[in-house]
Amino acid sequence: MSGILEGKRILITGVLMESSIAFHTAKLAQEQGAEIILTAFPRPSLTERIAKKLPKPVKVLELDVSSEEQLAGIADQVREHLPTLDGIVHSIGFAPQDALGGNFLNTPWESVATAMQVSAFSLKSLTMALLPLMQDGGSVVGLTFDAQFAWPKYDWMGPAKAALEATSRYLARDLGERNIRCNLISAGPIGSMAAKSIPGFGDLAATWDARSPLKWDLSDPEPAGRGVVALLSDWFPKTTGEIIHVDGGLHAIGA
């Protein structure tokens, strides 16, 4: 029986650790029949080492999504390995340390601007850079952390994720005529490199122990990866502009 991504070609960003959602997305995508290519920044060598743990060998390209020069060249680089793309996975987020950890009221604009560009605007810039490779439609899937609420210590990553969620909706609006779907997975907390960079992450994660209807495992990124793979597949052919929660149901619980 063939996998749900059989014959598809997918570009995946953000594979930094084996514990990341992006890594498990890449692993599942290969297991489900996709050809994949990875991008990484600032240390492609780190991603290359992690990628050796995937079921099949994969090419890693360097891409800084805040660099217009690198974005301008990424389609040609991908084309050397994959002639077209059917999907893009945006697993990119960054905020300077002074934009996190309870410093919300004192964070300077320069740090906020960095968080917004890398964490939100990059969804648009990455998608547009790769659009020439998606002539037959496809699926763009990003990762968010529920921006409906103000989370402890999350500070300016919260507004950045809200901007990401809005950006996905506008991309869905404008790319629908090209048969390109744009959706997000809103995952619960995972003990990834990104999470560990957030001061007080343990306090935030403890919320899931107290309120999540389904037991949540901080060390298991596979459920979120499965959600990403499902949205990359043809099983959601008319779903776009959506945010699907893979968070144990916590988003539905008031207290």
Q: Which residues are annotated as a binding site for NAD(+)?
A: 14, 20-21, 64-65, 92, 161, 190-194
Tokens of 151: 């989370």
Residues near 33 by Cβ (< 8 Å), separated by ≥ 6?
2, 3, 4, 5, 6, 7, 8
From 154, 170, 196, 238, the catalytic residue: 154
Residues near 216 by Cβ (< 8 Å), separated by ≥ 6?
188, 189, 208, 209, 247, 248, 250
Q: Which residues are annotated as a binding site for substrate?
A: 95
Dist CA 215 CA 37 (whole Å): 33
Residues near 246 by Cβ (< 8 Å), separated by ≥ 6?
185, 186, 187, 188, 223, 224, 226, 227
Residues near 141 by Cβ (< 8 Å), separated by ≥ 6?
87, 88, 89, 90, 182, 183, 184, 185, 228, 231, 232
Dist CA 5 CA 106 (whole Å): 46
161 noted as active-site residue: yes
From 27, 161, 170, 238, the catalytic residue: 161
Dist CA 40 CA 64 (whole Å): 8
Q: Which residues are annotated as a binding site?
A: 14, 20-21, 64-65, 92, 95, 161, 190-194
Which residues participate in catalysis according to the annotation?
154, 161
